[in-house]
Amino acid sequence: MIVSQHSRADFDPVVEWQSILTKTPPAIAQRISALAHDLGDELAEAFYTEMLTHPQAKLFLDADIVHQRLHASMRRWLAELFEPHPPEALSAIVAQQRHVGEVHARIQLPMHLVARGARFLKGRLLSRLLHRPDVAALDAQQTEAALLYVNDLFDLALELMAESYVRDTQRVARTEEAFRLHALSQNLQVERERQRFLLAAWGQEVLFALHRGGQPLVLPTLRGSEFGLWFLHKGDNLFEGAPEVEPVHASLDRIDNALLPQLQVQDPQRQPVLITELQAALGNLQYLVQVLFERHIELESGRDALTRLLNRRFLGPILGREVHLAQQRRIPFALLLLDLDHFKLVNDQHSHDAGDTVLQQTALLLLNHVRASDFVFRYGGEEFLVVLVDVTPEQALRHADKLCQRIAEHTYELPGGVALNLTASIGVAPYCGHPDYQYLIHQADTALYQAKRSGRNRVVVAGDAAVGPPTIAA
Ligand SMILES: Nc1nc2c(ncn2[C@@H]2O[C@H](COP(=O)(O)OP(=O)(O)OP(=O)(O)O)[C@@H](O)[C@H]2O)c(=O)[nH]1
């Protein structure tokens, strides 16, 4: 059974809210509710002033409209939080906290800023509470009840916000990913040619303008060109995380902020040097953009160009999902990390093309010996990662043994009619309950290393897997 975050069997926030109310003497709850009302304006204003001192929070708050609306909604939120609601009103109050979390996720307000704001508000409220003469007159037990009431309600509200924040952040990430894929569906090859052309066209435009001359000479900026606009608004998003993105931005800035102003001076002595510099910078930009497109055309397809197996792009989502299924539905899975033995010799003794053929035939062989529900990745040069779904550790081991045997029996046919026999080593890592799939990959890698060290052409199961000693397949 998949349990949604909103219905965790062990956690009913309405019940928890009610229990905080129940254990608090009504007179105390009333007193704090009145205090929250009285201090609403002051706390909202102090909150705003405090958060503005944080540079990251300032980005979200520094606008009149935010100030006005935040002030009113903060006051309302505080008043509602501490009101001793009747039981029938609690679902709505819980929903309200979750809604706040959704809004935070939508505006991508970092969670640590929410926590910081809550810490400030709680501290300020508690200190004002303790300094009030009517509270100072309370006995120790009543004071404790008052402090716990403030503390528990604050923390429960924050917990509810965090819960929906995480869920919604994941949803936003999925939508953004879908958007990225949508942007990509507009043929990348065509886009690459178009952007190459636009970049070159801008270079021509600058040269023409320089040739025409005129006072004052106004040169078009590269950031304002069609290419510059495309890169900022679409390319940046499309190539997010690629190492060439920053150099492209640096190059755009250098051209617009350093080279163009110098060219505008129209010093006949320096112009030839500056034009050469501009052309070199444009050549470098063309190269960077070319690399970005090429890498993405292969990566984004999710397939390795040589073997047509999955590449690493979808490794995270696929393994993340298998871990989730194993946790939630108790469906175990296993990773096999397979590496061809002495593969370097194939390249060295027969040619790189022969090596490529071996990789293609291995990919086919693996695909033919797993179920349609399993996944086969080209993990590295001559390394393959197989995800066997719905298998016990014992079944995974048997399957790995079989694959090892199949490879040893297979006759590879190389270009020029050469026939070759090879072996492979396999590291097996059955799902062991660890939530991070990287840990499992590491386990498989260590087992593979042991298989290599103990003679190759064999299967080794990761050390802490619950399946007996390593087996030797051949
Ligand atoms: N033909 C070809 N070779 C590749 C490709 N990717 C990686 N390689 C080669 O694979 C070889 C891997 O060699 P090593 O890591 O030394 O391993 P090995 O020779 O298989 O030896 P062991 O793994 O220790 O049994 C290197 O020579 C790489 O150049 C590829 O796409 N095509």
**Protein residue with its CA nearest to atom 23 in ligand 1:** 341
Which atom of ligand 1 approaches the CA of 348 most closely?
Answer: 27
Q: Of 78, 200, 55, which Cα lies nearest the Cα of 128? A: 78
Residue with the nearest Cα to atom 16 of ligand 1?
344
Rounded average pLDDT over 29-52: 91
The residue contributing the CA closest to ligand 1 atom 26 is 344
Shortest-distance atom of ligand 1 to CA 355: 1
User: What is the structure's pLDDT at 10?
Assistant: 63
* Cβ-contact 386, 370 below 8 angstroms: yes
Query: pLDDT of 154-181, one tens digit each?
Result: 999 999 999 888 887 777 777 666 666 6
**How many other C-beta atoms are found inside a 10 Å radius of the C-beta of residue 379?**
23
User: Residue 387 in 3-state DSSP?
Assistant: strand
- Name the more confident of 250 and 437: 250
- One-letter identity of residue 282: L
Dihedral, 370, 374, 379, 382 alpha carbons, nearest 10: 0
DSSP β-ladder status, 424-430 and 333-340: antiparallel
pLDDT score, position 182: 59
User: Is residue 320 predicted with pLDDT exceeding 60?
Assistant: yes
Ligand 1 centroid distance, CA of 357 (Å): 13
pLDDT of 28 above 80 = yes
CA atoms within 13 A on the CB side of 187: 4
Closest CA to 295 of 181, 374, 366, 192: 192
Please tell me the distance from the alpha carbon of residue 281 to that of residue 153, in angstroms, as a whole number: 59
> Cβ contacts of residue 329 below 8 Å, gap of 6+?
1, 2
Per residue in 222-267, pLDDT (tens digit) is: 999 999 999 998 888 888 888 899 999 999 999 999 999 999 988 8
Q: Which of 382, 456, 457, 460 best tests ligand 1's pocket when mutated (most atoms within 8 Å of CB)? A: 382
What region, left, alpha or beta, does residue 84 occupy, with left being phi > 0 and alpha being psi -120 to 50 degrees?
beta
**What is the C-alpha separation between 8 and 6, in angstroms, rounded?**
6
**408-431 mean pLDDT:** 95
Cis amide leading into 13 (omega within 30): no
State pLDDT tens for residues 99-126.
999 888 877 788 899 999 999 999 999 9
| Selection from 290, 199, 278 nearest residue 242 by Cα | 290
Token pair of 412 as six digits: 């590879």
Residues having CB within 6 Å of any atom of ligand 1: 306, 339-344, 347, 352, 355-356, 359, 381-382, 452, 456
- What is the 3-state composition of the chain as percent helix, strand, coil, each rounded to the nearest 5? 70, 10, 25
Contact 440, 430 (CB under 8 A): no
Lowest average pLDDT, out of 62-66, 219-223, 398-402, 435-439, goes to: 62-66
Q: Given the CA of residue 306, which atom of ligand 1 is nearest to it?
A: 31
Classify the phi-psi angles of 47: left when phi > 0, otherwise alpha if psi is within -120 to 50, otherwise beta: alpha
6-10, 13-17, 308-312 — which is least confidently predicted? 6-10
